[in-house]
Amino acid sequence: MKSKIDQISKEITSLKASTIDEVEKLRIKYLGKKGIISDLFKEFRELEPDLKREVGAHLNLLKKTVTETIDTLKENIEKSSGNQKKVNIDLSLQEPSFNFGTRHPISLVKRELLEIFKKIGFSIYEGPEIEDDWHVFSALNFPEEHPARDMQDTFFIEKNPDVLLRTHTSSVQVRSMENEKLPIRVVCPGRVFRNEAISARAHCIFHQIEGLYIDKNVSFADLKQTLLFFAQEMFGKETKIRLRPSYFPFTEPSAEMDVSCNLCGGKGCSVCKYTGWLEVLGCGMVDPNVLEFNGIDSKKYSGYAFGMGLERIAMLKYQVKDLRLYFENDTRFLEQFTNY
């Protein structure tokens, strides 16, 4: 029986057919109910168990090869005669539309900001979102009883109050001071978390970029000039800035910066609430305590820092009225930023 199988195996390598009818005849000859393969299986059933074991696999393989060979013959004929099964194709149908993704406005603003600061020598520095009390508060000169340390403002993620989600990217300032050699000139982008009720103007997750520059003789004038450069690159060459005194535990003196309203040019409109100014960021000279906490001699070195919310910058740049839109992933909103 094995020799029969071998012989048929050889035979089928040279099978030929030029019409579908011929293929059908071959199929009946080999694979039909009374065909060669079926006869072989009948014979197979009569074999001794030992022989069965030996021959079975060969026989199955033969059946498979014959089936494949005949299928291939049929396909080839169909292809060459262009005789494929007729499919109803409506050539007037429009192809399904394909939407390219667009960059998220927050990513666009982040990229633009980082480019601006790269031009004047800042490099990017990143840190973890899950932090400890030291990097978020203590090393930044937050007094023990400061309200930001309260459950109401900070997300603690374990019973241990030393494990928390950073409430600002200023924690990355601390990490850069720990790890980098002086002078330091970094911008730190990242997500921050605050335990706030979600509304059109506040969210519990948002994005910040922190800037830090520490060297000998860094002055408030350097800070002001850097911020003016940033504001004019971001909002246009006509943009003016003003600094208002403010308070942060980690800077002294501290200020908040406004830019002239880019919609009304400072004349007053509903976006700037008729003041002509838009609040953009917090900044100041790094408090000597913060330098000392981080092992930097505050008699030799000084520095400035600033921090801003990306959602806020994107709101001003693209006139977005509701912060929640950034998080909803509604493509009708996101698609509008394709051309920026």
**Residue numbers of the site for ligand PHE (CB under 6 A)?**
168, 170, 210, 248, 251, 282-284, 305-307
- Residue 296 Cβ vs ligand PHE, minimum distance, rounded to whole Å: 16
Residue 51 in tokens: 């022989």
Closest CA to 278 of 287, 269, 286: 269
Taking the least distance from each CB to ligand PHE, the nearer of 26 and 186 is 186
Residues 6+ apart with CB under 8 A from 45: none
Q: In a 3-state reduction of DSSP, which class is residue 22?
A: helix
- Residue 100 Cβ vs ligand PHE, minimum distance, rounded to whole Å: 35
Residue 244 pairs in a beta bridge with: 256
Sheet strands (E) in the chain: 123-124, 130-131, 164-165, 184-193, 205-215, 241-248, 251-260, 277-286, 302-309
Taking the least distance from each CB to ligand PHE, the nearer of 193 and 277 is 193
Report residue 15: phi and psi, to 5°. Answer: -65, 140
Report the C-alpha gap between 245 and 230 in whole angstroms: 20
- Cα dist from 150 to 145, 211, 232, 246, 294, whole Å: 8, 26, 37, 21, 24
Taking the least distance from each CB to ligand PHE, the nearer of 55 and 257 is 257
For 186-197, the DSSP string reads EEEEEEEE----
Taking the least distance from each CB to ligand PHE, the nearer of 276 and 288 is 288
Closest-approach residue to ligand PHE (CB) = 307
- Residue 284 Cβ vs ligand PHE, minimum distance, rounded to whole Å: 5
- Residue 325 Cβ vs ligand PHE, minimum distance, rounded to whole Å: 22
- Residue 103 Cβ vs ligand PHE, minimum distance, rounded to whole Å: 25
Taking the least distance from each CB to ligand PHE, the nearer of 23 and 212 is 212
Taking the least distance from each CB to ligand PHE, the nearer of 127 and 282 is 282
Taking the least distance from each CB to ligand PHE, the nearer of 170 and 176 is 170
- Residue 207 Cβ vs ligand PHE, minimum distance, rounded to whole Å: 11
- Residue 301 Cβ vs ligand PHE, minimum distance, rounded to whole Å: 17
For 232-297, the DSSP string reads HHHH-TT--EEEEEEEETTEEEEEEEEEE-TTTTTS--TTTTTSSEEEEEEEEEEPHHHHHHTT--
Q: Are 190 and 171 contacting, i.e. CB atoms less than 8 angstroms apart?
A: no
